[in-house]
Amino acid sequence: MSIPEEIKISLLCLFCNAPLEGENGKEFSSGDMIKCLQCNELNDYDSIIELVCDRKLKTPRFSWV
Ligand SMILES: [Zn+2]
């Protein structure tokens, strides 16, 4: 038994709150813009992560869901 180091998160569109889905195998990194499939707005990856960090302060790492 070990403490899980990675916690899966769902990234949500900053504009319409729809889940953002990456293309198969694609991983996002700092500085990327993620296009929302629902409203076609571009989300700033860093802003999304910042939001998630606010909600889950104890989350040490992130991985794409
Ligand atoms: Zn959206």
Tens of pLDDT, residues 13-33: 999 999 887 766 677 888 999
pLDDT digits (tens, 9 = 90+) for 32-65: 999 999 999 999 999 988 887 776 655 555 555 5
Amino acid in the structure at residue 10: S
Instruction: Say what the pLDDT of residue 36 is.
Output: 92
Instruction: Report helix, strand or coil for 43.
Output: strand
C-alpha 57 – ligand 1 centre gap (Å): 24
The pair phi, psi for residue 34, each rounded to 5°, is -110, 120
C-alpha 47 – ligand 1 centre gap (Å): 14
Instruction: Say what the pLDDT of residue 40 is.
Output: 95
How far apart CA 39 and CA 18 sit, in angstroms, is 9
Identify the burial level of 65 via C-beta atoms within 10 angstroms of its C-beta, where 0-12 means exposed, 13-18 middle and 19 or more buried.
Answer: exposed
Instruction: Report helix, strand or coil for 60.
Output: coil
pTM score > 0.85 for this model?
no
C-alpha 22 – ligand 1 centre gap (Å): 13
The residues spanned by each domain of the chain are 1-17+32-65
